[in-house]
Structure 1
Amino acid sequence: MSDKVNVRRILTEAFSKGDTEVLDELMTEDFVNHNAPPGMDTSREGVKSVIKIERQGFPDLKAEIIRDFEDGEYVIQHVKLTGTHKGLVFGAEPTGRVISWNEIHIAKVRDGKVSDHWACNDLHVLMIQLGQIAPPDTSAFRRENAGS
């Protein structure tokens, strides 16, 4: 099985289905999440906690892999996450709205298992949809381009 297929399972089985135990099979013992939320464990146990928190807020959370590819020992993924906001998450009370955001994941693979993880997330988009931060004021831009 290719490294890309193994890394996909983290999203399809752990995040989308809530099967956090699969991470024991897919991540090394010394796994490090270099983009763990502040105060969270950087090990695979920390990833399990993140999944539980996200699925508490979005019980129907679904990770859609837009594109992924391998480059040597790395697997890079562009992912869209979507879920209905039915529970408390990131300090936001449930809104009942369908929320979606994008992420880029970089996984370093060693002997078929993920040893390191880095990510870039559209957290500002997520937090705006949750009502935790205000959207940026674009009125000046709209005025400047109104006559175009």
Structure 2
Amino acid sequence: MSETELETNEEIARAYPERVANERALDLLDELLTEDFVEHGPLGDENGIPEARAGMEQLLGAFPDFTATVEDLVASGDTVAMRVTLRGTHEGPFAGIEATGNTIEVQNMVFSRIEGGRIAERWVVPDTLSMLQQLGVVDFEFQTP
């Protein structure tokens, strides 16, 4: 794969957090994702563009000031790996948790597989424990010996 192709894949993968999430450009999902797109995440899989849109709408509804900052990015072949920091204030229901008013800052790992200039699959692995702690719904501390 050429350097130009890798750079294009990086731009495509970055567009999801930077344009869709940060700019609220949900209509971009139609151009950005394959018809049979699948996102694998901690709350289960989202299949297809309508489910991806609904998932993003739910996230933005729960965290209206949500932002995603791409901290690191590595591309190899058809896969782009990103470390992304997620921030927002919990002002609406999310994953069965009523609004807490708490702010979160959570690390998130995202692997995107690019196919034909579109994202075919994403594996999203947020630091769910940290998020639940920051929301105040889990009280957990690691004990050192």
Change in 2 beyond 3 A, CA 1:18/1:72: same
Runs (5+) with no aligned partner, structure 2: 1-6
Backbone CA RMSD of aligned residues:
1.8
2:141 is matched by which residue type in structure 1?
A: P
CA distance in 2, matches of 1:88, 1:73: 35
Aligned pair 1:6/2:2, yes or no? no
Q: 1:58 aligns with which of 60, 63, 67?
A: 63
Does 2:72 correspond to 1:67? Answer: yes
Larger Rg, first or second structure (1 or 2): 1
Q: 1:86 to 1:33 in 2, by over 3 A?
A: same
- Distance in 2, matches of 1:41 and 1:60, equals 23
Measured after TM superposition, the shift of residue 82 of structure 1 is 0.2
Aligned length: 139
TM-score normalized by the length of structure 2: 0.85
* Higher-strand-fraction structure: 2
Q: CA separation in 2, counterparts of 1:65 and 1:123?
A: 18
Note closer, same or farther for the CA distance 1:12–1:52 as it changes in structure 2 (3 Å cut): same
Given that residues 33 and 44 in structure 1 are in contact (C-alpha distance below 8 angstroms), is that contact kept between their aligned partners in structure 2? no
- Structure 1, unaligned runs of 5 or more: none
C-alpha contact 2:108 2:125 (8 A) present in aligned 1: yes
Percent sequence identity is 24
Extract structure 1 runs of 4+ deviating beyond 6 A.
none
TM-score, normalised to structure 1's length? 0.84
The CA distance in 2 between the partners of 1:49 and 1:100, in whole Å, is 22
